[in-house]
Amino acid sequence: MTVSRDGTINWWSLEMSLLRTAYSSSPHLKVRTTWVTDMVCLPDVNIVVTSSTERDLRFYDCTAKTFTLKIVITSWEYMICTMHYHFYKDPNEQSILICGDAAGSVRALTFSPVERGPFRNKPGRALLQLRHVDLQKRPRLLPELKLTEMPRVHSDWVRQVSFYASLHCVVSCSTCADALLMCDLAASKTHNLFRVDKGIQCFVFDEEAHVLATGGPDCTVRVWNPFVPSKASVTLHGHHAGITALVLQSNGQIVYSLARDRTIKVWDVQGQVCVQTYIDVPSQIGERTPISAVYNPATREFILAAIKLAVLVLDEQLNPQHTDGFTHSRAVARVLYNPLFKVVITCGMDSIIINWDPVTGKRNLLVRDAHTRLLHGELIPVEITSACFDPGHQLLLTGARNGTLKVWNFNTGVCLRNLAIEHMCEVTNCFWVEGRILAVGWNRHVTEFEDTGTSSSGKAWETRHSDDVLAAAARTPLSLATASYNSELIFWKLETGQPYRRFSCTEPMLRIKLQYSKRAASPPAAASGTARRSTSSMMRPSVSVGGGRESLRAAAAVQKARARRVSTVTLPPRAQHMRQLAVHAMLFLTARPCHMRVASLVVSLENGQVQCWSDHPAGGIQGAFQGIHTVGDYVSAFASDVDNDYLFTGTTAGYIKVWLMKNYLRNEKVHVNMPLLRLTFPFLWRDRIEGRAKRCVRDQPLPLLLNSYRAHLRCVTTLAYLDDLRLVLSGSSDYSVRVWRLSGEYLHTLGSFVPWSLDVTRFPPDVRKVASFTTFKLCIEGSPDHDPMLRRCGAAAGCRASCRGRWRRTCCATSRRWNCARARSARPPPSRCWAATWRCRSAPSRRRHLSSTTRCPPYRCTRTCAWRRRNRCAAHPRPSWCAPRAFAASSTAPRRARTLKRAKSDLVEGGRGEVFQYSVVILLFYNYN
């Protein structure tokens, strides 16, 4: 509802369409028109109240789309300039109408809304006219309406009034020294006076969080504790005109302020910074007319009105059924984990650096506008494209799209140094090696800086690339690898800065000879020409054609079948030479030795292939595998653990895959414990129907695919692995950084409004709509709360309480990585998960002198123990290790060590029909009295 000065009242729908119009006028004025000062609606009794310069209050009945003047209270001492109405859901509670006048007085009219109170229809009375004095001295004229007065509480006009329901207090403000008053109607229990020199024009409060925000002519937003009126908790400066309206959101953590110059600022109370400044309020609503504003918390719409109406949406509320929230306001560029301070650093395309605590999920520090550029006299934020730590993990280095680099203290947010490679030349990768800072980008060469100097410019290495460098990786102190858009791969010596090997990722078997010269590097055109000349004289490896035509047909058929499963399209040979494959990501496996037969560098190509190279001078390509299973996809991010046992890949389609690198291209034989991997990765469990991820690796035995799931709906731009917590962090272009367990279970999103927890697994709301059954299997069946064996367990609640979130590392005080709820072998589950007769066979603390009449010894049964009678889970079949035969148990002679070399069993789970086969070698030592 809107009202103008001439008394025109309009009803509008939420879509801002005009519904009806009415007029409020004084019944005593015949010539001069009225001037309405304020209007308030009484929705529980269907009454509209207007105040005017005639010092009266008019109550209009709006029942059944009528507009009938019901009560008029005239002859107030001063003009009423502001009003507020509050009513309770309980009809037995008194409703209250608060009025503030031009003399600084506050008055309250209370009545009972039962049967509409004083506004009920009475026969023979169409209009009731009263004077203010009648309410004071002759209350019998209107006994349902009670008047309470607080005269002269302010020395100037009352600008705004409200009611603090939780404290049962009336709140009023004025532009005088006694700026804001909070007191109860009796003025006895609560009487808090907030003093501001220039007064307060407007205020807003949150009753749940007990936060009070005020704004006034001094262009300052103040945030108070309502119980501490002596000093404001937070003072926010930035406006250049008086503040006329305020809005609170997120339990008082976000404040919106509207000034007279039509500027809206968004404030972060906890960080005490201005998040956004909005200056695009339409001028059509009136450039010099005072603006009235109202906030609709249901739709989060801020409605501004002067000559016309304008609707602004303030931070639209997120639906938890659709999203968990966002970490940055734009795409995430880099996620880094600092093992020294145990914090996670995220850098976004919004030029923001955030320091997170991965255990609690809280934000430790936020740096805004980390990189900026001057445009038309205004600083514009620049996207962050790369970041890394120094060798001591104490400082942070960031690179931006405009070619600048900055050194930060990420614990305090202080910029320590500014560097630059070239103006408006994007930094694609940066590295901080011992004593030097290296940066590569679109300038096609490596730029080196001293880490202790003060110079902002560095020296350039020799230009060997003929196109923009898109990916790079460093292996201190040996080598640096750089790759360009046209598939060039060059290895550099970190010590000297000289290239020692050059390859083409599109044709990795070609030998390219490097030519060294004392002259300066040739321009890009000459360099490309040299590359073409050298390519024409390249030596090609010999190809055996002993198979003849039949072998070629068989190979073509296998390749065609593989392409069909991977959903890729094979280009003709002529078309392949027309387009070089760009390199988008690379990673050094630093735990591997520098050997000519050991693959220590993984490279991602845009056709979805992952190549493995050796950085040894006599090495080269060692192998390749397909890292995707959807058409048009490719690997865009790499990560690995400290020992390089796992390789994590993120794709442009939003998938995360985990590969076992322990036994891949190591030039040595490494034993792989498959039962342990099956316990850790539910993806390895057998399926009735295999998904695309498993089908595409049927003919690819190595490396073993351990996991594959949909993590984001958009491209995965960066990955990080936390070894001590066994967590995977994925950053995406969907503005979020998500936390995953190693097994693929989703935990949380950094910066989400959902309560943080690393023990409870969830399902990403946005991925749920498009996820495959493989992703559902990992997020649902991979959780202990959904394990069918755990549901059949008689003591499942105790197992959840003791083993949730820790089953991958320890179980029942054992160092072996067995899962108490996921035992799929002949070894029984521990006692915490099953009945008291079951004991954890791998826990040293359980190997004690057990009574043969109360518990079953390992892999045998005593003479007096009946398995089905002793076991609480009677529905579970008898395990193969529990043989019914009896054996002699001496009470004095100790038992010797027994060795079970190999135990094989097939356990068929009820309801799923899945068969799991394990080969377990267990060494058991037991002593019995």
What are the distances in angstroms from CA 98 to CA 71, 80, 202, 318? 17, 10, 16, 35
Start-to-end Cα distance in the chain: 88
Mean pLDDT of the region 827-836: 39
Asked if residue 463 lies in contact with residue 445, where contact means CB atoms within 8 angstroms, the answer is yes
pLDDT digits (tens, 9 = 90+) for 684-732: 888 888 888 888 888 888 899 999 999 999 999 999 999 999 999 999 9
- pLDDT for 529 equals 40
Supply the pLDDT for residue 25.
Answer: 86
pLDDT at 80: 93
For 887-904, write each residue's pLDDT tens digit: 333 333 333 333 333 333
**Is pLDDT larger for residue 301 or for residue 796?**
301
Residue 556 is predicted with a pLDDT of 57
- pLDDT mean across residues, the chain: 78
pLDDT at 460: 86
Model pLDDT, residue 477: 86
pLDDT at 929 over 90: no
What is the tens place of the pLDDT at every residue in 470-484?
999 999 888 999 999
- What is the phi/psi pair of residue 10, to 5°? -120, 140
pLDDT at 577 over 70: no
If pLDDT is split at 50, 70 and 90, which confidence band does 865 have? very low
Task: Report which of residues 723 and 514 the model is more confident about.
Answer: 723
Mean pLDDT for the stretch of residues 533-547 = 35
Residue 520 has pLDDT above 60, yes or no: no
Q: Average pLDDT in the 862-890 region?
A: 41
pTM comes to 0.61
* Biggest CA-to-CA distance, the chain: 120
Which residues, including other chains, have CB under 8 Å from residue 139's CB and lie 6 or more apart? 146, 147
Res. 83: pLDDT tops 90: yes
pLDDT-derived band at 639 (thresholds 50, 70, 90) equals very high
Whether the pLDDT of residue 240 is over 50: the answer is yes
Look at residue 555 in the predicted model and tell me its pLDDT.
55
pLDDT of 825 > 90? The answer is: no
pLDDT band at 72 (very low <50, low <70, confident <90, very high): very high
User: Does residue 115 carry a pLDDT above 90?
Assistant: no
Average pLDDT over residues 175-200: 85
According to the model, what pLDDT value does residue 912 have? 34
Over residues 571-588, the mean pLDDT reads 73
**pLDDT greater than 80 at residue 374:** yes
Portion of the chain with pLDDT greater than 90, in percent: 36
**Pairing between β-strand 264-268 and β-strand 898-908 as defined by DSSP bridges:** unpaired
Q: pLDDT of 276-293, one tens digit each?
A: 888 888 888 877 788 899
Rounded Cα distance, 602 and 659, in Å: 12
CB 305 within 8 Å of CB 256: no
Cα 126 from chain centre: 61
**What does the pLDDT average to over 625-650?**
92
pLDDT level of residue 144 (50, 70, 90 thresholds): confident
* Strand ranges (E), 477-524: 479-484, 488-493, 499-504
Strand order in the sheet with 655-660: 635-640, 646-651, 655-660, 704-710
pLDDT at residue 596 is higher than 60? yes
Q: Which stretch of 51-65, 359-373, 510-524 has the lowest confidence by average pLDDT?
A: 510-524
Q: Which of 65-69, 212-216, 791-795 has the lowest mean pLDDT?
A: 791-795
Q: How many helices (H) and strands (E) does the chain have?
A: 11, 59
pLDDT band at 860; cut points 50, 70, 90: very low
User: Could you give the CA distance from residue 29 to residue 606 in angstroms, rounded to a whole number?
Assistant: 81
SS3 of 568-624: CCCCCHHHHHHCCCCEEEEEECCCCCCCCCCCCEEEEECCCEEEEECCCCCCCEEEE
pLDDT at 447 over 60: yes
